Amino acid sequence: MTDGHTSLNILIAEDDLHLGEALAGFLRDRGHRVDLAANGREALEFLKDNFYSLVIADLVMPEADGLAVLRAARRKDEGTLVVIMTGHASLDSALEAIREGAYSYLRKPFKLQELDLAVANAARLLALSRENEELQARLQDLTAKLENFPLPEEIPLRRNQPVSGEFGFSSSGRDPDPGEQQVADLVRLHHLYRENLLTEGEYQRLKQRLCV
């Protein structure tokens, strides 16, 4: 997209055909991939065969309401965000949607800017979730490497010690001796801690394993 937003797969469930087409057209112009369901039953069929990052569903629809669509979307993938639209907004209906796992809700009539903001916020939340999953995978990989690493005796850190980007290799390309390897691993571990990829507890625990 030209404005820097993340492109999403979106399902719109809206029984007002004119409104549904207007919303779908607006979001497609914003660079998103959009399917439009004319009622709740069609929305459930779309959910069976497709993956959506975001579902925007009217609360009151024939054949299946917005909460049924919400439940189906989250059963298929708990990471899917759902925005509920309603022209019958009340505290009770909003709270019910939130309790069922809705990300947000829009009260009809709403401006397209409100929809744009809700979708942009959802895109940012999804991106942060993906980044968190990637960081967790990197942390697990690092922990596995350290658990399988034979621990030499502790030696003092030296300034200007060459450090590799990964465990197990010196910057010169030759096999490091145990002392060099431990220094490289300790400095690498400290770098990960400074980059906030390890908590204080994780850092101290892994450092202790390297220094026993």
For residue range 165-184, what is the model confidence (pLDDT) as tens digits? Answer: 444 444 444 555 555 666 66
Tell me what pLDDT residue 31 has: 95
Tell me what pLDDT residue 164 has: 42
73 within 8 A of 102, measured Cβ to Cβ: no
Whether residue 156 has a cis bond before it, omega within 30° of 0: no
Tell me what pLDDT residue 206 has: 72
Q: Are residues 156 and 122 in the same domain?
A: no
Chunked into runs of 10 residues, the chain (212 residues) has average pLDDT values of 69 96 97 97 96 95 93 94 84 79 90 95 87 74 64 45 43 52 68 70 71 63
Q: Are residues 84 and 25 in the same domain?
A: yes
Residue 159 sits in which domain range? 149-210
Pick from 130, 164, 187: which residue ends a domain? Answer: 130
Q: How far apart are CA 92 and CA 135, in angstroms?
A: 38
Quick count: other Cβ atoms within 10 Å of Cβ 85?
Answer: 25
The domain total for the chain is 2
Q: Are residues 120 and 17 in the same domain?
A: yes
What is the domain-level CATH number for residue 89?
3.40.50.2300
Within a domain: 29: yes
Tell me what pLDDT residue 138 has: 74
Tell me the pLDDT of the chain averaged across its residues: 79
Per-residue pLDDT reduced to its tens digit, 13-23 = 999 999 999 99
Q: Are residues 120 and 45 in the same domain?
A: yes
- In angstroms, how far apart are the furthest CA atoms of the chain? 73
Pick from 102, 130, 158: which residue ends a domain? Answer: 130
Within a domain: 170: yes
